[in-house]
Amino acid sequence: MQTAESLFALTLNECVDAIRATGTQLTTLVQGHMGCGKSSILKILKQELPNHIPCYFDCTTKDMGDLMLPKILSSDDDTPYVRFAPNEEMGFHHGKPIILMIDEFGKANQSVKNGMMRIMLERKLGTMELHPESIVFATTNLGTEGVGDLLQPHHRNRITVVRIKKPTVDEWIENFAYNAGIHTAILAWLKENGGALFQSFEDVANPDDNPYIYHPKSQRPAFVTPRSLELASHWLHAKDKLTPTTLKQALMGTIGARGGADLEAFISLYDQLPKQKEIIEDAGNAKVPESASAKVMLVDRALTHMTQEFVTPWLTYMQRLDKEAQALFVMQVRKPTYAKQAMVMTNKVFTQWCMANNYLFTADV
């Protein structure tokens, strides 16, 4: 059963916009599923606000004494007094605009939560005050996940709590995976399995109905999240240095027994693709895969690993694929979220292809 919070949950970009709009005066606590990208809010804000200093404060590693320490001073008449110096992770010492991310606030012990309240409400700690253009926000997991995230009423009343939704498969691939170099086999696996891999446990009454994801009613030592898929990608990139048994065990230990076994099956399909070096050296004769799934994987790999050296050979090779695969590549390049868009769209072969095939996109005009 959906709650009002989950029904109106925000996307990652909506959370970023909300924090940027009010973060100098209000503290927004972003609450969401583990591994769904909450921590990336700090990276996005840093890109949008390059003159701000990013500061990360992990509440799970702190006790009350870690917030600030006493510094003994004396007045003009040698009367001693104490000034408290805040932890440098909070950025007070910079004297410049900062972006302070208070991570895992719900898991902090009670004294740390109490100690952080003045920062979250007034932007002050002891006698020190943040720069007026500084932005403060916090993150935590869902209380229903059962991993120890608790907020008391007097804490919630001083902040704004918003729910972030899990990304869809397409959102994660287009907004993150292509630009982060996620392994092509993972992208193909995600597309093949649809939304099951990113499904919320709140929509699955019986955990056996979805063996891939985290579920508080099931003891699964590993499971699929956007974060664990990024970790699995590193294992796949290193697969040529590993035995098949080592790779399978590593995948199962990263994304779960069912997920690791299923993902391994996609590796054989990936191995059917021509290597990027082969396309660069001989775009006219490099092998072309026969299956539609392999062609999609090939397009995804090109998008993910595009380089200046690869653009022209790929665009030449791509025209040996069917029109659907060519159009898939071009549509992804045209999206503003694609970080290497300029590299591709300024290429002469690309502009020639667009002029020759503009009929494929007449509905977009």
Distance of CA 300 to the CA centre of its chain: 18
pLDDT at position 83 is 86
> Residues of the chain with pLDDT > 90: what percent?
69
The residue with tokens 């009350």 is 64
When mean pLDDT is compared across 13-17, 191-195, 224-228, 329-333, the lowest value belongs to 191-195
Domain boundary assignment for the chain: 4-163, 169-364
pLDDT at position 232 is 97
The pLDDT of residue 6 is above 70: no
Mean pLDDT of the chain: 90
Residue 180 exposure: Cα atoms within 13 Å on the Cβ side:
20
Higher per-residue confidence, 78 vs 40: 40
The pLDDT of residue 364 is above 70: no
The residue with tokens 């664990």 is 228
pLDDT at position 132 is 96
pLDDT at position 12 is 93
Pairing, β 135-141 against β 80-86? unpaired
The pLDDT of residue 362 is above 80: no
Which string of b and e fits 210-241 if b means at least 16 CB within 10 Å?
A: bbbbbbeeeebebbbbbbbbbbbbebbeebee
Residues in a beta bridge with 164: 10
DSSP per-residue codes, 2-28: --HHHHTPBPHHHHHHHHHHHTTT-PE
Q: What does the pLDDT look like over 88-141, one tens digit per residue?
A: 999 999 999 999 999 999 999 999 999 999 999 999 998 899 999 999 999 999
When mean pLDDT is compared across 54-58, 258-262, 268-272, the lowest value belongs to 268-272
The pLDDT of residue 7 is above 90: no
The pLDDT of residue 311 is above 50: yes
pLDDT at position 147 is 72
pLDDT at position 151 is 82
Distance of CA 162 to the CA centre of its chain: 18
The pLDDT of residue 1 is above 70: no
Tell me the C-alpha to C-alpha distance, in Å, between residue 48 and each of 29, 44, 178, 322.
20, 6, 20, 39
pLDDT at position 360 is 67
CB 92 within 8 A of CB 99: no
CATH number of the domain at 4-163, please?
A: 3.40.50.300
The residue with tokens 């790929």 is 314
Q: N- to C-terminal Cα distance for the chain? A: 41
pLDDT at position 2 is 55
Longest dimension (CA), the chain: 87
pLDDT at position 3 is 61
pLDDT at position 365 is 43
pLDDT at position 361 is 63
When mean pLDDT is compared across 132-141, 173-182, 273-282, 354-363, the lowest value belongs to 354-363
pLDDT at position 100 is 97
The pLDDT of residue 214 is above 80: yes
Mean pLDDT of the 28-32 span:
95
The pLDDT of residue 167 is above 70: yes
